[in-house]
Structure 1
Amino acid sequence: MILVLGGTSDSLEICSELNKIFNLKYTLSVTTEYGRDLALGYARNVILGKLTKDDMKKFIKENKVKQIIDATHPYAIEVSKNAIECSKESNIEYIRYERKSLIDGITYPNIYVVDTIEEACEIANQKGNNIFIGTGSKNLDKYVELIKNKKLIARVLPTSEVIKNCEDLGLNGDNIIAMKGPFSKTINMEMYKQYKIDLVITKESGVAGGFLEKVDAADILDIPVVIIKRETIDYPKVINDVKEIRNFIMI
């Protein structure tokens, strides 16, 4: 049995590759109902819920897991750390699928690369008025708390749970763009113009997350972009190409 830790479009592509291997058994773990709905179109066995380290160790033992494929979001750091520890303690193999960083290839000079949300908010307070939050809904509470007397425009998934969370934070229809991405450069440009955006905050989400399209749209409109870097982890084994995964599978 292989445990695939999902939560990204990449994890679904990995499942597609695993499905090509005859008689291979694997389980895909996701953390949201939306993720589960998507996953059911790819994986036969899907479990829903956030796995703590103890949960993961129990699942590994009960299901005789011999390999972990970590395809969680690049910013889901704690899950990856737990998975690495579980693999070592259970003496099984851990493989990390990591989207390649695109920051070094950006030629647009009007960017600010930071390590934390707090640093991003400091820059937003100094340089923006209509601020586009392109990092999803997970840490919106921090932006609302730390960015003062500015208009926030948050682009989030169009689910009732996410929209309710936005409303609970005091955001309303003028602050919420509820759409599923990734988005083209043109769509990003139109959104920036529609909401009179003068600062963009994004994560280094990679090609699959539409990262470059957000930056390229800002480049054309001369809007500054704050990029929150990924935390660096010393992964035991990393691949950057989904198709490589079949070369490392333990049958």
Structure 2
Amino acid sequence: MILLLGGTSDGTDLAVQLEQAGFSVVVSVATDYGYRLTKEKVSHVIEGRMDEQAMCQYILANQVTLLIDGTHPFATIASKTAMAACQKAAIPYIRFERPSSTLDNTLPVDSIDEACQIAKKIPGTIYLTTGSKTLGEFASLLPMDRLVARVLPTISVITSVENLGFKAHQIQGMRGPFSKDLNKELIKKEQASVMITKESGPAGGLKEKIEACQELNIPCIVIKREKIEYPLIFQKTSDVVAYCGGL
């Protein structure tokens, strides 16, 4: 059996193709939201975060012969955990990751702290499209009254954002994908003077965010991915399916 760590549209699409190719696949997702979206397309889905020990136990108990890490490019803890579990369980690990986008016409940075240092110096509203998990860091490093965050419109996410101190008018609860024009309208609505986002790649709509900022003539600060040395990495679903067929 193949264990695929999912949570992204790319990972779900890969799971569908693997099932269609005749492989036995179970997709592991961290949240109820991810579970519901994945279950619409994939037969076998499990929910819940696993540490190294739990993941290793699951691999051994369910006779997993291959782990495919299809988590978000910024879910680095999950990737490192999976690599360690695979090494302990003595099974192959492969990374399936959406390709990076060009960062032309952006202000690329290596960390949230660096992004905040730049944004602080730009007067006006700071528009965050970085997801909800790291909003607490932004709230601690930037003036709260200058922030607007775009997040998934689920009860758990909205509640967590409100608990950080964000008011209703500072929260845009929406699910992508977002076109360039929609990005522009959302930015204009908030009269934002700078956007902070992540190097999420084409599937994460980075190109459309950058283009929207360009046309509105506002800076787009992009937090780059952490560089991790994966033992084996693929960026095309067809290559992963071919690799699985050769095992």
Give the shorter-chain TM-score range. Answer: over 0.9
Residue aligning to 1:71: 70
Q: Give, in angstroms, the shift of residue 103 of structure 1.
A: 2.7
Q: Distance in 1 between matches of 2:86 and 2:161?
A: 36
Q: 1:43-102: CA deviations, max 9, x gaps?
A: 221111111011100000100111000000000001101111122222211111111111
Contact 1:188 1:217 survives alignment (8 Å): yes
Residue aligning to 2:18: 18
Q: Aligned to 1:247, which of 219, 239, 242?
A: 242
What 5-or-longer segments of structure 2 have no aligned partner? Answer: none
Contact 1:29 1:48 survives alignment (8 Å): yes
Q: Aligned to 2:156, which of 145, 157, 161?
A: 161
Residue aligning to 2:98: 99
Q: Distance in 1 between matches of 2:154 and 2:127?
A: 19
Q: Give, in angstroms, the shift of residue 149 of structure 1.
A: 5.7
Q: Give, in angstroms, the shift of residue 128 of structure 1.
A: 3.9
Q: Give, in angstroms, the shift of residue 150 of structure 1.
A: 4.5
Task: With the length of structure 1 as denominator, give the TM-score of the two structures.
Answer: 0.95
Is structure 2 residue 51 aligned with structure 1 residue 52? yes
Q: Distance in 2 between matches of 1:68 and 1:217?
A: 37
Contact 1:17 1:245 survives alignment (8 Å): no
Task: With the length of structure 2 as denominator, give the TM-score of the two structures.
Answer: 0.96
Detail structure 1 runs of 4+ shifted over 4 Å in the superposition.
none
Cα distance, 1:128–1:230 mapped onto 2, change above 3 Å = farther
Contact 2:152 2:174 survives alignment (8 Å): yes
Paired residues in the alignment total: 246
- What pairs with 1:1-251 in structure 2 (closer than 5 Å)? 1-22=1-22, 24-104=23-103, 106=104, 108=105, 111-148=106-143, 150-249=145-244
Contact 2:210 2:220 survives alignment (8 Å): yes
Same amino acid, percent of matched pairs: 40
Contact 2:194 2:220 survives alignment (8 Å): yes
Q: Distance in 2 between matches of 1:94 and 1:33?
A: 25
Contact 1:57 1:86 survives alignment (8 Å): yes
**Code of the aligned partner of 2:45:** V
**RMSD between aligned residues:** 1.2
Q: Which moved further from structure 2: 190-199 or 88-97?
A: 88-97
Q: 1:210-251: CA deviations, max 9, x gaps?
A: 011000000001100110000001101111112222111156
Q: Distance in 2 between matches of 1:168 and 1:149?
A: 13
Q: Distance in 1 between matches of 2:131 and 2:193?
A: 18
Q: Distance in 2 between matches of 1:119 and 1:163?
A: 26
Contact 1:125 1:150 survives alignment (8 Å): no
Q: Distance in 2 between matches of 1:86 and 1:17?
A: 25
What 5-or-longer segments of structure 1 have no aligned partner? Answer: none
